[in-house]
Chains A and B, each alone.
Chain A
Amino acid sequence: MSSVNIYGVVIRYVRPRDIIEPNDHNSKLDALWKIHYELESLSRRIKELEEKVGA
């Protein structure tokens, strides 16, 4: 496996002695932001569910 796709952001795995490019770093940052948006949306849905059940 040479890369992973996190909500549309592709991050490559690097081999030993490969140079970690700025793009590798930025992809990780983008993926973190995407995860943040997903968690935010999930949090909203949980809040709605809590309101429905009166919790």
Chain B
Amino acid sequence: MSIEAKLSELVSKLKQIRRVKAGDYVLSTDHNYIVDALSIIRDIVELMKTKQDDLEEKLEKYRVNVYPIVKRPLSMQSIDVDVLGTASLMVSPIDISVDVDPIASLKLASQSYDPVYVDPIAKRQKAEQTYSSSVEAQVTKS
């Protein structure tokens, strides 16, 4: 059930609760309707917590997948990443197109937050060397 539906259920329950004056008896129905209302409020709080969890999860995914790329300076407008042979992306001031798998984007995120500056060209050359030596090793093996 949605939060909105639960809220209207709460309103209709609250409308049933009598306001008592001095000398009035508080009836069992007065008590029971309040218990019902409390139970509905608890359900609403739980639904809101679930919704909050979803939003936090979505934000975390967004931060990992998009934010580290967008944060990069515009001088690095075009980045071709082929670390795992699965990731490729292009960033320009007008158009942002991203095609990155989760592992590669995590790698990107860690690079982006690296406090020590590493020359990206040297880093890429090193990655290519590592990649080609591993390919050579595989070829030699086979």
Which residues of A are interface residues toward B (Cβ below 8 A)? 4, 6-7, 11, 13-18, 20, 24, 28, 31-32, 35, 38-39, 42, 45-46, 49, 52-53
Contact = CB atoms under 8 A, between A and B. Distances in A.
A18 to B, nearest CB: 6
Contacts of A46: 52
A35 B31 contact: no
B52 A6 contact: no
A49 B35 CA distance: 32
Contacts of A6: 38-39, 42
B38 A32 contact: yes
Chain B facing A: main interface SS: helix
Contacts, number: 53
Interface string B28-44: 11011011001101100
Interface residues of B, number: 20
B26 interface: yes
B28 A14 contact: yes
Contacts of B52: 42, 45-46, 49
Contacts of B45: 35, 38-39, 42
